[in-house]
Amino acid sequence: MVRNFRSRLRDGEVLLGTMLTLPSAAVAEILADAGFSWLFVDCEHGPMDVAAVQEVLQAVGHRCACIVRVPEGTEGEIKRILDAGAQGIIVPQVNSAAQAAAVVRASRYPPQGSRGVGIGRAQGYGARFADYVSSANDEVVVVVQAEHRDAVDSIEEIVAVPGIDCVLIGPYDLSASFNRMGQIHDAEVVSAIERVLSVCAGAGIPTGYFGVTAEAVEEYRRRGCRLLVAGVDVAFLSGGAQRMQRQFTSAE
């Protein structure tokens, strides 16, 4: 079974994951077998839906933590993903304390929040209802993304919201919000990232970072980020296929 991922994050363990965008349990198994600590299951971009998420969780959720990025931070989206059995959620474009507070409320059962009470895979389809409801508030991970300049401006208020477990920096969307699409090493973008890291460190809130390569996230591991995302499933497939084609062509 997957050890409580929220506890691992709070204990300061470095947790390296990768992004799953394809609605495929087989791809999820391949990535879990590669030894990643967790999978970033992405429902914001691409064809992944709740049914596909549940199939992924059924395939690997017992041995590799699956934290799911919802399309948006609405109560309905969060509830359905958590009821499918995800160990936590990642919410994109959280740019204010009010948005952060709404995300936490939707992720926690009363009295800590307003999460609706339903019966699904997370509750053992009813068989483990009492156990799940009694432990979910302590175990479900709530990650908000700082990926817009408005989030940077409001970061002190965001991290002050009780129940936020981690702030995950999205450098590419962040660069776009400064009208520097993809220029993640631009001085203004780097300054914004440093501000988020500094404020989170001061508040005792873990931080995370997405990078296309291991080298990109290693830089931020050294800066104290603990929730790391390196690479994307489709990029692994595309890159491997292109290398094979080049090797064959060069041998002709």
Given the residues 45, 62, 148, 185, the one annotated as active site: 45
Return the number of other C-beta atoms located less than 10 Å from residue 74's C-beta.
14
Question: What is the distance in angstroms between the CA of the first residue and the CA of the last residue of the chain?
Answer: 49
User: Which phi and psi angles does 15 have, rounded to 5°?
Assistant: -120, 105
Residue 107 and residue 80 in contact, taking contact as beta carbons nearer than 8 Å: no
Contacts of 58 (CB under 8 A, 6+ apart): 25, 121
> Helix (H, G, I), strand (E, B), or coil: what is residue 121?
helix
Contacts of 88 (CB under 8 A, 6+ apart): 5, 6, 65, 67, 68, 140, 141, 142, 143, 165
Q: Would you call 45 a catalytic residue per the annotation? A: yes
H or E segment to which residue 177 belongs? helix 171-177
Q: b or e along 110-143 (b: 16 or more beta carbons within 10 Å of the residue's beta carbon)?
A: eeebebeeeebbbbeeeeebeebeeebbeebbbb
Task: Point out which residues pair with 18 in neighbouring strands.
Answer: 39
Catalytic residues: 45
